[in-house]
Structure 1
Amino acid sequence: MHYLGAQRGAMYSSEHNLERFRAETVARNRCSTPVKNLYISGQDVFSCGIAGALHGGLLCASAVLDHIVYLDLVVLKKTLKKRKARELAQLAKKKLQ
């Protein structure tokens, strides 16, 4: 209240109390709004802090694209792991030669 003048909230905007993390409250939080083509993202959609903002952005992107972006990230992670494994195998092979 002293620094932000926020009577109902915290430095991360919405107050992070136990009520906010109840299943019913979490289920009500959505990226889409009643205003056509207006979406919200960031920590208020998911949770507080940087990780909350990251996931809120991913959820918003999924809503806008009508596609589950998390699945793309899983596929990308597997692709990068395979590529890294091939590179390490080639490097090891060169060292043996």
Structure 2
Amino acid sequence: MSRPMLLAFLLMILIITSQFEWKQQLVNELEASPSISQKQLHISNREEAVKEKIILSQEKNIQRLNDLLRSLREQLLQCRSNDETINGTATPLTENINEFERQQILQD
């Protein structure tokens, strides 16, 4: 009987010590978790800040492109109005030039 009692006692000691080791590992992991989560939170905050800066930069670029587009549209309208003005007065001149060229060809 002493042999089975000794085995049972050793088994109990083994179980108790292994539980202490497991608890110690769990405590270490739990202690490490907040620092890891704090680091992840800090990294996440930095990523968000970078994303916000990128978005602001893109918004500035979009605004600048819209301004350029507006300027180009205004220039196009000015060119069209100038072209219409020139074409309105230039048509008779073009006809005169064409007639003059025909006369020179006929003379040659």
Q: TM-score range by the shorter chain?
A: 0.3 to 0.5
* Structure (1 or 2) with the larger CA radius of gyration: 2
TM-score (ref. length: structure 1): 0.36
TM-score (ref. length: structure 2): 0.32
Higher helix share: 2
Tell which has more relative contact order, 1 or 2 (C-alpha 8 A, sep 6+): 1
